[in-house]
Amino acid sequence: METKQPVASAHPSTLARILIIIVTWNKQHHVLALLASLRQIQADAHTATVVVDNASQDDTVALIKAQYPAVHLLCNRENLGGTGGFNTGLQWAFDHAGQYDYCWLLDNDVVVHQNALQALLNILQQNHDIAVAGSTMMQLDYPWRINEMGAFVDKEGGLLVLNRHLEKIPAWQGQSVDALLTTDADLSQKLLYCQPVMDVDYVAAASLLIRADVAQKIGLWRDYFIHFDDVEWCLRIRDAGHRVVVSAKSLIWHLSAAAKVPTGVLYYDNRNLLSLLSHHSNPALVKNAQRRVLLKALYYALLGKPDLSHAHKMAIDDFRANRLGKKDLRLTTIYQPIQQLKQILADESIKTVLFSFAVNLQAANMQTALVQAMLQRPDLQVKFLTDAQGQSKRHIPQAQFVLLPANRLKRLWFYWQHRNRYDMVVQWDYQPLLPLSWLGRHVLFVNNEGCCLADKPKVADVWRALRWLMPT
């Protein structure tokens, strides 16, 4: 582990002293881009930067040492997740108590507006009852769209309610992130009924400024490894009598969750949410939340992802046993590059294919491979399912469609008639159609990042998930 002191910016000592804490793992290009962007940050503050590396296997550490010698590196010997990474940085800050007034926590893959830090600093300097101020998170893939302005915890429903989720900034439509980094970032002047500062239950550690003394008083994050750790921390801060707010003037851009495929992270989401509720709600709500997790386990068994079904059950088992931290998950749902589609469609045992109406061939970059396979294999029959309103999406020339009935009872009869009729059905991970998985021998799950070929759902897996729901 590096031992040299971080070198702070040359500002007068009367200015606020801020320690920037960044956690990274195997994303050298992202973290280097973030460090470069921090040079453009405009803030009346004395700043120093700590990067916590979670045992990256790329050249992250060497490149930071070479390009940013003033950055203090803390190198963990293994990947401790977001929780362990930020705890490493926070503990370093606690060990140097008195040297910093504030800690600014940042994800390694965010893009930061040049005024983001100053807007957060203004809030904390002008409002002594506020302990935490977070940035509005915009979507990196749709830069004019809000992902969240902080969030609220629905303890009864067992979920996060993202504040102003998916609201658009009309004037920014079509503009790139680079073009927006120096523009006027005050969303309170661009959105209806949007206050410059809003109280919330939590703000993401993707960009979170906290008073250093409050952070030390509240202590480190609970060992969740990833996900809900910053949520639980903010709830503890609020329970201690402090306000947690989000700024409409501080903006960052982050890849939206809709573009990420949930796999093993579902285990952490459910286990950690149950742990959070056990500390911040009542036993009845925790019991209800556990039942919802088991219903999700049944859902994934019906969809044809039995490993994710079992991951939900493990989340409950480990929560009940108070097992936190990193989990050795062994999933069979393994995604491969979309180019694998060519090999899959070359299999002559696959002669009939049905695509869900939700599949976006262009977004998944699979249109060319599909058309080429159909030209090379005249025996390959490819059809597309319409939605219940009869709407069809034409992604390839001379596409053939199968009409999904609008009437619910007729749809059930349709699914029953078409069971096992196809060699392969294709599901869109972002909008799976549950009964579709039962119509073919195989299910191909596709998304913007890759594809996964799986067997059709098994009755035994569904029965197992049903038994978990039965009272004991």
Identify whether residues 80 and 184 lie together within a single domain.
yes
Residue 391: band (very low, low, confident or very high) from pLDDT cuts 50, 70, 90: confident
**In-domain check, residue 458:** no
Q: Which of 114-128, 234-248, 292-306, 328-342 has the weakest average pLDDT?
A: 328-342
Identify whether residues 20 and 103 lie together within a single domain.
yes
**In-domain check, residue 454:** no
Identify whether residues 322 and 445 lie together within a single domain.
no
**In-domain check, residue 6:** no
CATH at residue 435: 3.40.50
**In-domain check, residue 374:** yes
The number of distinct structural domains making up the chain is: 3
**In-domain check, residue 4:** no
Half-sphere exposure of 402 (CA within 13 A, CB side): 21
- Sheet holding 451-455: strands in order across? 400-402, 381-385, 352-355, 422-428, 440-446, 451-455
CATH at residue 61: 3.90.550.60
Which of residues 216, 234, 259 is at a domain's end?
259
Identify whether residues 104 and 243 lie together within a single domain.
yes
Over the stretch 134-163, which tens digit does the pLDDT of each residue have?
999 999 889 999 999 999 999 999 999 999
Identify whether residues 298 and 252 lie together within a single domain.
no
454 closest CA partner among 441, 466, 472: 441
Boundaries of domain holding 382:
340-449
Residue 394: band (very low, low, confident or very high) from pLDDT cuts 50, 70, 90: confident
The Cα 141–Cα 382 span in angstroms is 31
Identify whether residues 309 and 418 lie together within a single domain.
no
Average pLDDT over residues 6-11: 43
Identify whether residues 249 and 274 lie together within a single domain.
no
Reported residue count of the chain is: 472
- Pairing type for strands 207-211 and 130-139 reads antiparallel
**In-domain check, residue 455:** no
Which of residues 239, 259, 279 is at a domain's end?
259
Identify whether residues 283 and 359 lie together within a single domain.
no
**In-domain check, residue 360:** yes
Average pLDDT over residues 358-367: 90
What's the confidence (pLDDT) of residue 1?
A: 35
The residue among 278 and 13 whose pLDDT is bigger is 278
Identify whether residues 271 and 253 lie together within a single domain.
no
Identify whether residues 219 and 273 lie together within a single domain.
no
Identify whether residues 353 and 275 lie together within a single domain.
no
Q: How far is CA 169 from the centre of its chain?
A: 22
Residues 6+ apart with CB under 8 A from 318: 271, 324, 327
Which of residues 214, 235, 259 is at a domain's end?
259
Identify whether residues 30 and 156 lie together within a single domain.
yes
**In-domain check, residue 2:** no
pTM for the model stands at: 0.90
What's the confidence (pLDDT) of residue 10?
A: 41
